[in-house]
């Protein structure tokens, strides 16, 4: 792609991202989805859109003493969806799950993970399941389903001609 074309696409993405802050929910969703499609299709990172040099970073998603496998499953799905890597570190009797990737992707992934954890917790309360085992099984089912749906979405984008590779550097706008 020549520089002029890339500049035009980046300008269009900027306008769409501005629209994604609209108070009209439907308009905001459509604008964010279209911006996401363009980011992935042309393999452009949010760093390129914001005219900053794209760098890599890592960020702690959560720290825990006792692992909750559903949160790890969900984090792995979110990391894949946002072109990041999730890994675990142990220190001083604690463990931490960390996202590593491009700055914009890591920030987006962490925010998305936090939101999805809240949603799963609310769904668990609404489910009416009693007992820790039943609630954790429900949470794990939600996490696995969300991760699978994210993979299907990325594969569908790949089949529709939008650039997708596991080592892609584009960020998804959510």
Domain segments of the chain as ranges: 4-50, 56-160
Buried b (16+ CB within 10 A) or exposed e, 3-23: eeeeeebbeebeebbebbeee
Per-residue confidence (pLDDT) for residue 3, from 0 to 100: 65
Per-residue confidence (pLDDT) for residue 55, from 0 to 100: 78
Mean pLDDT by 10 residues, the chain (174 residues): 72 83 76 84 78 72 86 93 90 89 90 94 94 95 95 82 52 47
Per-residue confidence (pLDDT) for residue 34, from 0 to 100: 85
Per-residue confidence (pLDDT) for residue 68, from 0 to 100: 82
Dig out the tokens for 108 from the structure.
């987006």
174 contacts 109 by C-beta, under 8 angstroms: no
Beta strand 56-64 with 85-91 is unpaired
Tally Cβ neighbours within 10 Å of residue 107. Answer: 17
Per-residue confidence (pLDDT) for residue 14, from 0 to 100: 84
Per-residue confidence (pLDDT) for residue 99, from 0 to 100: 94
Secondary structure (DSSP) of 7-30: HHHHHHHHHHHHHTT-SSHHHHHH
Secondary structure (DSSP) of 50-115: TTS---EEEEEEEEESS--HHHHHHHHHHHHHTT-EEEEEEETTEEEEEEEEEHHHHHHHHHHHHH
Rounded to 10 deg, the angle between the 103-127 and 69-81 helix axes is 140
């Amino acid at each position: 792609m020549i520089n002029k074309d890339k500049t035009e696409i980046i300008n269009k993405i900027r306008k769409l991202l501005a629209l994604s802050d609209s108070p009209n929910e439907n308009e905001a969703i459509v604008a964010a989805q279209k911006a996401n499609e363009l980011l992935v299709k042309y393999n452009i990172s949010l760093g390129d859109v914001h005219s900053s040099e794209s760098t890599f970073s890592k960020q702690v998603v959560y720290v825990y003493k006792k692992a909750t496998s559903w949160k790890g499953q969900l984090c792995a799905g979110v990391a894949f969806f946002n072109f990041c890597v999730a890994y675990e570190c142990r220190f001083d009797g604690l463990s931490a799950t960390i996202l590593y990737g491009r700055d914009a992707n890591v920030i987006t992934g962490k925010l998305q993970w936090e939101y999805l954890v809240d949603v799963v917790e609310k769904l668990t309360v609404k489910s009416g399941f009693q007992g820790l085992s039943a609630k954790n099984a429900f949470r794990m089912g939600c996490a696995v389903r969300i991760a699978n749906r994210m993979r299907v979405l990325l594969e569908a984008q790949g089949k529709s001609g939008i650039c997708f590779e596991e080592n892609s550097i584009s960020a998804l706008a959510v």
